Amino acid sequence: MRACVAPCVGAVALVALAGCSHSPTSPSPVPPSAPHPSVAVTSIAVRGQSAASGFRYATTLKLRESTGVAATIVAVDLTFTANGAAVAGSHHDKPISDGTNVCPASGTIETRQLDTVDPNAAHAFATAVQAVVTFSDGMSFGGTATAAADVPPLPPPNPPQTFTLIGVITDVSTHAPIGGAKVEALNGLNAGQSASTDASGSYKWTGLLADTFRVRASASGYDPGEQNVTIPTNPRADFELRRPVDSTCSYVGASNAPSIVGSDGGDFTIALTRTAGACAWQASADVSWMTFSHGAAGAGSGPLVFTVAANGLNTRSGTITVSWTGGSASFLIVQGPHPDWECFVALSKGPEDFDHVPSAGGTLTVSASVQSVPAGWQCTATVSGTVPWLSGGGSITSPTILTFTVAANPTPGSTRTGSITIQSGAKSASQAVTQR
């Protein structure tokens, strides 16, 4: 019985030993996790402008992916602030395009223009913008990228384009131009603006905005006229004005021209005074050698300036007529002939400094001469100072050196001016004098 037990026990022990010496099983390797995209905002470009009410901001972002995995750009959120206070915000889905919104692996992409409107006119213009970009790997991973940038100052508004309207205003009956007439905008974008006609009845009205508006033309002594004008489609608008049927008007005039105007001619004036009514006047001359360089029409009392050209060897005459509603006045102008001979004068400075006479005063010399052309006639000229503090001179008939005394300046340090002149008939010459 004992001999049987031992072998059995040994067998059991062997089996147990074999079980204890078995090597443990190694764990299975864990595969590495897939990389995720990483997106950064590399730049923000923003441009603001004034809107009908408030402001509008246009923003573009540049994005870069850096881990080598394409990123789907889900959305962009923008927040605009003015000195730290939020003034506007916007959310933009599909910020790249309506088709694809993927930033390529290890690549860059730019968003479309993202517009943000701030309709509150009470808000200040934004000074900064913050962008939050939401992206994913197209499956379960998601992330965000943020960035901020300053908003450039609001650019100055572009000046609006302006246009010019021209035209002529005339009398409907006589077709004579009406000087001093007024054109004005009654409504529209140009309301309140106006222009006036010159002596030829023409006007040039600049600085007008493109628009259709009502224009009124008016002049003293005329009924106003109106018409619609479209700028710049119609750049010209002419008017013919009519005098009121019951207008009663009268003028009187006085000329300062001598009874016989010298052969050299010159400028003269007819002083017109309106004694009744409210009409305008129009002037004309029946000869070509009398002209109206300062205008031949007006309204109300004022001067009519006319120019008489130089004459030849014969006496001539012409008539200036000033007409108005219900009347007219005529002025006969007679001009003498050019003489067979003339006196000519000359004046030259001495060695003294005429431009820097000392305040203490001093003396100045001039060379004066008068002679006839052709020679052989006796001419006389007068040499004198034009101001009381220049004394000297006199009458001469031949070349002479004259001395003038300059009085002391009663206000030392101040500057005063005068001149020394020579005169013979209509001929004259002068030399300026400055005392410092």
Number of domains in the chain: 4
Q: What are phi and psi of 274, to 5 degrees?
A: -80, 120
Domain end point (choices 335, 369, 387): 335
Of 109, 108, 81, 107, the C-alpha closest to 95 is 109
Sequence-separated (6 or more) residues with CB below 8 Å from residue 244: 221, 222, 223
| Same domain, residue pair 47 and 137 | yes
| Same domain, residue pair 146 and 50 | yes
Domain span at 203: 162-241
Domain end point (choices 100, 120, 150): 150
Mean pLDDT of 288-314: 91
| Same domain, residue pair 134 and 204 | no
| Same domain, residue pair 346 and 331 | no
From CA 98, how far away is CA 420, in angstroms rounded? 89
Residue-wise pLDDT tens digits, 201-229 = 999 999 999 999 999 999 988 899 999 99
| Same domain, residue pair 52 and 98 | yes
Percent of the chain with pLDDT strictly greater than 70: 92
| Same domain, residue pair 392 and 295 | no
The answer to the question of residue 20 being in a domain is: no
| Same domain, residue pair 347 and 331 | no
Mean pLDDT of 108-117: 96
Percent of the chain with pLDDT strictly greater than 90: 73
The answer to the question of residue 26 being in a domain is: no
| Same domain, residue pair 71 and 146 | yes
**Distances from the Cα of 375 to the Cα of 230, 262, 307, 342, 397, angstroms:** 69, 21, 31, 9, 13
The answer to the question of residue 15 being in a domain is: no
- Whichever domain contains 320, its CATH number is 2.60.40.10
From CA 327, how far away is CA 329, in angstroms rounded? 7
| Same domain, residue pair 263 and 351 | no
Residue-wise pLDDT tens digits, 318-368 = 999 999 887 899 999 999 988 777 899 999 999 999 999 999 999 999 999
What is the chain's mean pLDDT, rounded?
Answer: 89
pLDDT at 345: 95
The answer to the question of residue 1 being in a domain is: no
| Same domain, residue pair 118 and 220 | no
From CA 216, how far away is CA 192, in angstroms rounded? 11
pLDDT at 377: 81
**Distances from the Cα of 416 to the Cα of 388, 404, 410, 419, angstroms:** 12, 16, 10, 11
Q: Is the sign of the CA dihedral 424, 425, 427, 433 positive or negative?
A: positive
Residue-wise pLDDT tens digits, 18-36 = 343 444 555 666 566 678 9
| Same domain, residue pair 305 and 393 | no
Please say if the pLDDT value at position 91 is more than 50: yes
